[in-house]
Structure formats: C-alpha cells, structure tokens
C-alpha cells in the first residue's frame, strides 16, 4: 500500500507542474484578450465599388513603341 501512495504522490507532483503550466498559459491568454478589448478598433478600408475603377499605385508599363525607340 505504501508503494501505491508513493507512486500517487509522484504522479500528483508531475500533474501539478502540468496544471501550473496550463494555468499560466490561460492567464496569459486572458491578459492578451483583455488588452485587445481595451484597444480601439482598427479602421476598416473603404470597400471598392467596382474593379474597373481600381487604380494601381505602380506606374503603367511602357508600350512596345516606347521600348523600340
């Protein structure tokens, strides 16, 4: 019976370490969620009304006539 108690004590000691790690991880997750809720929301970019009116920031590619001359 004493051997069983020693084994249970060792298992409980290892389990307590895992429970501590899980508790710390959940506490960090709660802290991150709390910080995220306290921050102002990020602005959303306006939706494009049409693909045809979409303008690229890059300059247009040169035509073949410009490349030859």
Percentage of the chain beyond pLDDT 90 is: 25
Q: Taking residues 23-49, what's their average pLDDT?
A: 90
Q: Element (H or E) spanning 29, and its range?
A: helix 2-38
The residue extents of the domains of the chain are 1-41
Please tell me the distance from the alpha carbon of residue 48 to that of residue 56, in angstroms, as a whole number: 13
DSSP structural state of residue 55: -
Q: Judge whether residue 37 has pLDDT over 60.
A: yes
Q: Judge whether residue 9 has pLDDT over 90.
A: no
Q: Taking residues 38-57, what's their average pLDDT?
A: 73
Give the least confident one: 13-22, 23-32, 34-43, 57-66.
57-66
């Amino acid at each position: 019976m004493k051997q069983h108690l020693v084994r249970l004590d060792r298992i409980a000691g290892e389990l307590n370490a895992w429970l501590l790690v899980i508790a710390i991880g959940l506490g960090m997750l709660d802290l991150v969620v709390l910080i995220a809720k306290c921050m102002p929301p990020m602005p959303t970019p306006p939706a494009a009304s049409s693909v045809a009116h979409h303008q690229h920031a890059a300059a247009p590619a040169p035509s073949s006539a410009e490349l030859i001359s």
